[in-house]
Amino acid sequence: MPLNFADRLNNVETSAIRELFKLLGKPGIISFAGGFPDSAMFDVDGIRIAANAALTNEPGAALQYGATEGYGPLREQIASFMRNKGAQDLTPEQLIVTTGSQQALDLLGKTMISPGDKVIVEGPTFLATIQCFRLYGAELISAPVDGEGVKTDELERLIEEHRPKFVYLIPTFGNPSGALLNEERRRAVLAMAVKHQTLVVEDDPYGDLYFGETPPPLSLLALSAQVPGSRELLVHCGSLSKVLSPGLRVGWMVGPAELLGKATMCKQFSDAHTSTFAQATAAQYLLAGRMPGTLAKVRKVYAERAAAMGDALRRELGDGIEFVQPQGGLFIWARLTGANGKLADGAELAKRAIENNVAFVPGAPFYASNPDVATLRLSFATVGIDKIEEGIARLAASL
Ligand code: PMP
């Protein structure tokens, strides 16, 4: 009997990336395809100590059902973590804990999107966001991005034209663009939110992964304190996934009280609450003060790998490729130039590359509309420097 699935599934396809991932088990393959942090960098000792402390100090709370909004001590620790990053006035009540920031995106879809509603995203943007918002029937409109993030003049034009339900941005080391939105544009986005009374969603799982001495510009959340009227129009999604462990599934959402209330109601019917054991462990971890050390360590390793990959790409692929060297995050977003008759199709290169035992993700699926087929996303996060050099040499041979 054919199963009569819900109409909403007609709006989404299995991701092209998942199909590619099936090929990654091939022996000897060097993969730049994943969006994962490096599991070799997990602070296993720190997490073990934190899990032990959670079970020793508060076994009831860590193993019992909990509040949908999140475990109180974790909300306090997250608020304090965010205050240290410039969101000076943030209180625990202004955020809810989510099961990864992915759930925050799902809750946004559930609470805000009716079929046919327009949402502006970056072109390119996070693939799971495209899929998730489409599942709720959103019509997605892509705003163009350059090396400094979304082009705000274009964004404003699109807001005026489409009057979207909200705008979804990854301002800091975007996935897949790696781009860092400059401060002037950040202020422009907040001013635009106020001027057009448009909700803006800042998805920020990578902001702590900066490579230089100084942190990136303040998050939209932190800057919103300086732009009157903007905080009420801003949602900020954060996550421990890329800095501590994605397996913990601890993320959070800051937003207007009314929106958080509706999101909490929807979360209640979805997973009741994020794992109390994971939340208590995360709270103990943050309380123990290990995060700054962990961040310093991962930043250093990713910075070295990003530099090695950039150097190798310039050396091996020369004028066949163009990209902006990322200042943080996990990805190099590149474009095949087609110079001197070379290949300029990311999907075709991905096929040839797999044959040569190197993998990456072609860029086209990251666009909600008008894909640039010459683009590709290369992750440097999980591969050591020797393998990065070898993998990029294989990529050059494939080109
Ligand atoms: N947003 C972006 C931009 C991401 O890249 C990811 C993970 N790849 C997520 C959200 C979801 O992460 P998590 O649910 O693990 O917090």
DSSP 7-59: GGGGG----HHHHHHGGGGSTT-EE----PPPGGG--HHHHHHHHHHHHHH-H
pTM (2 decimals)? 0.97
Regarding the beta carbon of 379 and ligand 1, being less than 6 Å apart is answered: no
Angle (CA) 377 378 383, round 5° = 155
Would the pLDDT of 302 be above 90?
yes
17-21, 120-124, 360-364, 391-395: the lowest-pLDDT one: 17-21
pLDDT digits (tens, 9 = 90+) for 191-205: 999 999 999 999 999
Mean pLDDT calculated for residue range 30-50: 96
Check if 99 has its Cβ closer than 6 Å to any atom of ligand 1: no
Q: In the structure, what pLDDT confidence band is assigned to residue 16 with cuts at 50, 70 and 90?
A: low
Amino acid type, 88:
Q
- C-alpha torsion angle, residues 251, 256, 261, 267 (rounded to 10): -30
Nearest CA to ligand 1 atom 5: 175
Closest atom of ligand 1 relative to the 249 alpha carbon: 15
Task: Name the residue with the closest Cα to ligand 1, atom 8.
Answer: 35
Going from the C-alpha of 377 to that of each of 100, 189, 308, 352, the distances in angstroms are: 22, 26, 16, 16
Mean pLDDT of the chain: 96
Ligand 1 contacts CB of residue 170 (under 6 A): yes
Q: Would you place residue 17 in the very low, low, confident or very high pLDDT band (cuts 50, 70, 90)?
A: low
What pLDDT score was predicted for residue 108?
Answer: 98
**Bridge partners of 254?**
95, 236
98-102 mean pLDDT: 98
Q: Is the CB of 276 under 6 A from ligand 1?
A: no
Q: How far is the CA of 267 from the centre of ligand 1 (A)?
A: 18
Closest by Cα among 106, 155, 99 to 129: 106
Residue 285 has pLDDT above 70, yes or no: yes
Distance CA 144, CA 370 (A): 10
Instruction: Give Rg (Cα) of the chain.
Output: 21
CA distance 76 to 252: 12
d(CA 233, ligand 1 centre) in Å:
22
* Owner of token pair 């997605």: 140
Statement: residue 153 has pLDDT above 70: yes
Q: Structural domains in the chain?
A: 7-43+293-398 (3.90.1150.10), 44-291 (3.40.640.10)
204 Cα–ligand 1 center, Å:
8
**Ligand 1, from 150, 237, 239, 361: best to mutate by most atoms within 8 Å of Cβ?**
239
Does the pLDDT at position 21 exceed 90? no
Ligand 1 atom with least separation from CA of 125: 3
- The response to whether residue 126 sits with its C-beta less than 6 Å from ligand 1 reads yes
Say what the pLDDT of residue 15 is: 66
Q: Which residue has the higher pLDDT, 250 or 12?
A: 250
- How far apart CA 333 and CA 324 sit, in angstroms, is 7
Nearest CA to 238 among 255, 256, 253? 253
The mean pLDDT of 15-31, rounded to a whole number, is 78
The pLDDT tens digits of the residues spanning 249-278 come to: 999 999 999 999 999 999 999 999 999 999
Which atom of ligand 1 is the closest one to the Cα of 35? 8
At residue 351, φ and ψ (nearest 5 deg) are -65, -50
- Evaluate whether 237 touches 251 at the Cβ level (below 8 Å): yes
Cis peptide before 59 (omega within 30 of 0): no
Report whether residue 35 contacts ligand 1, using a CB cutoff of 6 Å: yes
Which pLDDT score, from 0 to 100, does residue 350 have?
A: 95
Interval 281-306 mean pLDDT: 98
Residue pLDDT, tens place only, 60-72: 999 999 999 999 9
